[in-house]
Amino acid sequence: MATVFAHVDVTIERTGGGRYTATNGRGGQIAMGTDGADFTPVELLLAAIGGCTGIDVDIVTSRRAEPERFEVQVSADKVRDESGNRLADVQVTFRIAFPAGDPGDQARTVLPVIAGKSHDRLCTVSRTIELGTPVSTRIE
């Protein structure tokens, strides 16, 4: 049985033709759109996957050593089939480098462990996608 430990929401407001702003409960905002340099909703989903698992990995590894490089790339194929539009073959790639020495060695050792835990249990975003959580629509 699932236990609700937090409720989260964002509000999307149209700011112009093909342009929108998402606002969270703390007042943070991010622009999105269908053209130009703004992130599309699909790109934001990929960023959410990378951000979620990247934060998990960073918290644990940086306790051991400050990374010299920390990059997470998330890619996917946008496909259309009998079920409609969706993403397929989502791939998360970590490009992380730690300094030479014992602290860096410790961070390198824990990196695959925490990346696995993030994928299997911790990252709410990718876990939600993999489990196939239903999305409902309501019109007020």
- Angstrom CA distances, 121 to 7, 9, 56, 73, stand at 19, 22, 11, 20
Co-location of 11 and 50 in the same domain: no
- Looking at residue 104, its pLDDT comes to 98
Co-location of 93 and 33 in the same domain: no
How many domains are contained in the chain? 2
For residue 137, report the phi and psi dihedrals to the nearest 5 degrees. -120, 135
Pairing between strand 10-16 and 19-24? antiparallel
50: burial class by Cβ within 10 Å (0-12, 13-18, 19+)?
buried
CATH of residue 112? 3.30.300.20
What pLDDT digit, counting tens, does each position of 21-60 carry?
Answer: 999 999 999 999 998 889 999 999 999 999 999 999 999 9
Co-location of 55 and 1 in the same domain: no
139 part of a folded domain: no
Q: Check whether 2 has a pLDDT greater than 90.
A: no
pTM of the entire structure?
A: 0.92
Calpha distance 56→115 (Å, rounded): 8
